Amino acid sequence: MNPLQSVYLIARRDFHERVRSRTFRLATLLLVVLAIGGVIAAEVGHSLFGGTATNTVGVVNPPPGLDTAIAHAGDAFDLRIKTRVFSSDEAADTALNAGEVDAVLAGTAQLRFKTTRDTKLASAVGQAAAAVRARQQLQNAGLSDAQIASLLSPQPLQVTFTDPGGEQSANAGAAFVTAIVLFGALMTYNQWILSGVVEEKSTRIVEVLLSVVRPWELLTGKLMGVLAVAVTQMIIVGVAFLLALAAIGGVSLPQVSPGGLTVALAWFVLGLGFYSVAFAAVGATVSRQEDASAAAAPLTMILMAAYFVSLFLVTANASGLAAQVLTFVPPASPMIVPVRYSLGAISGIGLAASIIEMVFAIAAVSWLGGRLYTGAVLHTGPRLSLGDTWRTIRGRHTAGA
């Protein structure tokens, strides 16, 4: 069996064992509940403590496209406007008098309120009704849909900032969310790797596996399996979040750009590649789950320090000297670079340079971590220090020579 087949089989075994485990199912369920709950909480929070106002407009026999036009006009006036269709004026007015709707639009020419005119709502609905009437007139004049869309869809204004801090302030919410999600993901999946290595060692399964595959094949397959599990769980939670967002609609959340999402995912993979080998090597030095947390404490502290620096120092001054230096410090880079990118504080050249440096750092830590894993994974008994592990490796190398 060639090395690629060995790595694939180990990865598939690890993937299937984890996704079938009770822990994975409960953790995924909890994350799905938190994702949906976050959307609901954002909706409730905006309803109770302000944010974009919500209005319902009753429409009687609306022409095509009126509901969409009203929703778009509401965005321009910082309103959330929902429409409710009625078949007759009488039914619509009954709902208006009962307080079920805030206003009634009859066709595209008449807007009715119960007692008090809401000027902002009237302006938004009037703009939408005018757009629909204009579209009907242009269609009657023989213009194509493309021509009508061009005329009725003006180009949005380009918003810029004279103060460089203005854009960073506008993107602070996205940076905050990016830092929290990245830290949680890296901590979770690295702990999986740590516990998996210790479990295989304590149950002596690793001895059976190493009788048919080499240590580096076992380590690589395990890391690939955990990465596949991580991606699977992220997809499940992401789909649940998007479905909840679509079902509730209009929830105001920090906007993460496609570029920011891509950079965050790329650095999650890079960060997992960097830390996972280190966590696996540390896990190989202990034989009991009780000792795993203590052995991994230095790595956990480094990752936590990078998280707090990204959350407070970098978001406060993403273009400062400290942020620029930490961009090229591998243990901190997975947390620092995505946050700086979200804040618009890193150039394309800087981003590319940080990724290239991180790839070399992953290669170096993989070489060192792989040797430490190989030297310690078959050791039983008390916890090995890294120094003892390295001396064991050198001793085997000398004996082999």
Same domain, 225 and 363: yes
Same domain, 82 and 188: no
Predicted confidence (pLDDT) per residue in 343-360, tens digit: 888 889 999 999 999 999
CB 268 within 8 A of CB 276: no
Residue type, 20: R
Provide the whole-model pTM.
0.67
Same domain, 23 and 129: no
Same domain, 253 and 391: yes
Query: Is residue 290 over pLDDT 70?
Result: yes
Predicted confidence (pLDDT) per residue in 3-34, tens digit: 888 888 889 988 998 898 888 899 899 989 98
Q: Which structural domain range is residue 105 located in?
A: 54-152
CB 198 within 8 A of CB 282: no
Measure the CA–CA gap between 125 and 161, rounded to whole angstroms: 31
Same domain, 345 and 233: yes
| 158 in any annotated domain | no
Spatial CB neighbours of 119, under 8 Å, sequence gap ≥ 6? none
Same domain, 17 and 97: no
Same domain, 102 and 128: yes
Boundary (domain end) residue, out of 92, 127, 152: 152
Same domain, 188 and 294: yes
Closest by CA to 277, choosing from 361, 393, 366, 196, is 366
| 343 in any annotated domain | yes
Q: What is the pLDDT of residue 142?
A: 78
Place of tokens 């910082």: 78
| 369 in any annotated domain | yes
Same domain, 142 and 204: no
| 269 in any annotated domain | yes
Same domain, 26 and 63: no
CB 306 within 8 A of CB 325: no
Same domain, 71 and 132: yes
Q: What is the pLDDT of residue 300?
A: 93
Same domain, 77 and 106: yes
CATH number at residue 121: 3.40.190.10
Boundary (domain end) residue, out of 152, 186, 214: 152
Closest by CA to 1, choosing from 168, 175, 218, 167, is 218
Tell me what percent of the residues of the chain surpass a pLDDT of 70: 82
| 162 in any annotated domain | no
Boundary (domain end) residue, out of 100, 119, 152: 152
Predicted confidence (pLDDT) per residue in 108-148, tens digit: 778 889 888 888 888 888 888 888 888 878 778 877 767 76
**Out of 300-314, 359-373, 379-393, which region has the weakest mean confidence (pLDDT)?**
379-393
Predicted confidence (pLDDT) per residue in 59-94, tens digit: 888 888 888 888 888 877 778 888 888 888 899 899
270-287 average pLDDT score: 88
CB 18 within 8 A of CB 226: yes
Do you know the residue count of the chain?
401
Look up residue 200 and give its DSSP letter: H
Q: With bands split at pLDDT 50, 70 and 90, how would you rate the model's confidence at 401?
A: very low
Query: Is residue 267 over pLDDT 60?
Result: yes
Query: Is residue 330 over pLDDT 50?
Result: yes
Predicted confidence (pLDDT) per residue in 155-171, tens digit: 555 555 555 555 555 56
| 46 in any annotated domain | no
| 227 in any annotated domain | yes
Number of domains in the chain: 2
Q: DSSP string covering 138-189, please?
A: HHHTT--HHHHHHHHSPPPPPP--SSHHHHHHHTHHHHHHHHHHHHHHHHHH
